[in-house]
Amino acid sequence: MDKSITIPNALDTFREVKCLSKRYSVVLVQDIAYKNKQIEELFTASRKGMEPESLILPFKIKDREKQLVDQLAKYKKNGINLENAYAKVAVGHYSFPPQNAPDNEVSINERSFYYWIEVAIAPLSDLTSDNDAGKLEFIGYINGTHP
């Protein structure tokens, strides 16, 4: 790597670079290459300057819940009661703040992200059979992987 280029040029593929203060626009990589304190300051500045991640779902929650119930129709041959099917999409935000750190300090170990979990359930059509009591069938996948 060419150490005679500026920090913004070195980090041009990182989205954080646009949030750095103007002070870094003239700082060369060679100026901070072996200075841990300045590298840490650059890291902290890039983390603090970023806007928080926003949640943009690729679907409307109610539409997705209907779609999940509709997908259960493929399994109707297994005796699923679609009239009593239910689907839920839960959306949340996970944030793991660093322990023993001041409020304004950002740690490299800090984790923060949005997530969603989808669940669709339906009872069996024939609830009179003792053979099916407590029967559970998992017909979905986690992260697209097969069970």
Q: Give the pLDDT band of residue 102 (cuts 50, 70, 90).
A: low
Read off the pLDDT of residues 49-98 as tens digits, 9 standing for 90 and up.
776 667 788 889 999 999 988 888 777 666 778 888 889 999 888 777 65
Amino acid at 143: N
What is the extent of the structural domain holding 39?
Answer: 7-49
In this prediction the pTM is: 0.52
How far apart (Å, rounded) are the C-alpha atoms in residues 55 and 74? Answer: 31
Q: Indicate whether 43 and 82 sit together in one domain.
A: no
How far apart (Å, rounded) are the C-alpha atoms in residues 117 and 87? Answer: 11
54 inside domain: no
Q: Indicate whether 83 and 103 sit together in one domain.
A: yes
Q: 39 pLDDT exceeds 90?
A: no
Q: Give the pLDDT band of residue 99 (cuts 50, 70, 90).
A: low
Closest to 123 (Cα-Cα) out of 139, 111, 110, 136:
136
For residue 74, give the DSSP letter.
Answer: G
Q: Are 121 and 127 in contact (CB under 8 A)?
A: no
Read off the pLDDT of residues 115-139 as tens digits, 9 standing for 90 and up.
888 888 888 777 666 666 566 666 6
How far apart (Å, rounded) are the C-alpha atoms in residues 57 and 14? Answer: 23
59's CB contacts (< 8 A; 6+ apart) are 67
119 inside domain: yes
Amino acid at 137: E
Q: 3 pLDDT exceeds 90?
A: no
Q: Indicate whether 78 and 127 sit together in one domain.
A: yes
Q: What is the DSSP string of 94-119?
A: EEEPPTT--TT---TT-EEEEEEEEE
Q: How many domains, in total, are found in the chain?
A: 2
Q: 147 pLDDT exceeds 70?
A: no
